[in-house]
Amino acid sequence: MNQHVFPPHQPQTPEARQPAINLPGVILALGAIMAGIHLLQEYVFSDDTNLMILELFAFWPARYLPEVFASGRVAGGLPADIWTFVTYGFLHGGWAHLILNLLWMAAFGSAVAWRFGVVRFLVLSALCTIAGAALHLLTHYGQPVPIIGASAAVSGQMAAATRFVFELGAPLGAVRLQDRSAFFIPAPSLLQSLRNSRVLGMVLAWFGINFLFAFIPGLIGGQEGVSIAWEAHVGGFLTGMLLFPLLDPVPQRK
């Protein structure tokens, strides 16, 4: 068991104590935005307004059918064809879906946010969200059912975190440093990382759980007529895994 060791006979000062909520500001801000949007949808907006929000901001594969795209009559037009690759990540189909995403973001996204900083973290999250929508579009082209949720971004954050959190000295390593420097341990290459049994086990477990989503519909509660697609999770996860070294500010371990 890892313990936080202080020098002998030296009490912990108030400045050294950990705050009650030790999460990066960007994680708290994203969580507040997503929770605020869902609160408005649940308790303030009318059904018609919520339907309009889905039309404008959820990701609809049917938008990209040639006859639909060329008509220019879909909600939001061409700008919405572009922005929905990202905005669907701020909508959720129910409290269970939202809370699960926020918990995973707090657990794994926080490690990436501490390491990357705000801008790199947001770039990674946005690219994973876009990749999730793109893979869903490829596998569900033309379907008139939207997808929503931050799961693609969270999946990418989890994948990025696995690239370093299990290393010696890192937050989930066998031995970990007891200060913020634990988040800045140099990461190995992808192939070296996958030789770590803990990393490989987590990756295999993650894919196994997501294949359950494929074969057991309704595993996460959601609104009727709204799909929460596992393909988007896979797109986000693979993107986070592959883009990690391009965005990582810490030089790779040699």
pLDDT along the chain (254 residues), means of 10: 41 45 91 97 96 95 85 82 96 92 95 97 98 96 92 96 92 82 92 92 90 65 54 95 96 78
Note the pTM of the prediction, 2 decimals.
Answer: 0.85
* Continuous H helices in 58-117: 66-71, 77-87, 95-104, 110-116
Domains of the chain: 24-247 (1.20.1540.10)
- Residue 186 confidence (pLDDT): 93
State how far the Cα of 165 lies from the Cα of 110, in Å rounded to an integer: 11
Please state the φ and ψ torsions of residue 134, each to the nearest 5 degrees.
-65, -45
Q: How many CA atoms lie within 13 A of 245 on its CB side?
A: 10
Please state the φ and ψ torsions of residue 229, each to the nearest 5 degrees.
-90, 130
- Residue 68 confidence (pLDDT): 82
State how far the Cα of 47 lies from the Cα of 161, in Å rounded to an integer: 38
- Residue 165 confidence (pLDDT): 94
- Residue 147 confidence (pLDDT): 92
Q: How many CA atoms lie within 13 A of 176 on its CB side?
A: 18
* HEC profile of 138-151: HHCCCCCCCECCCH
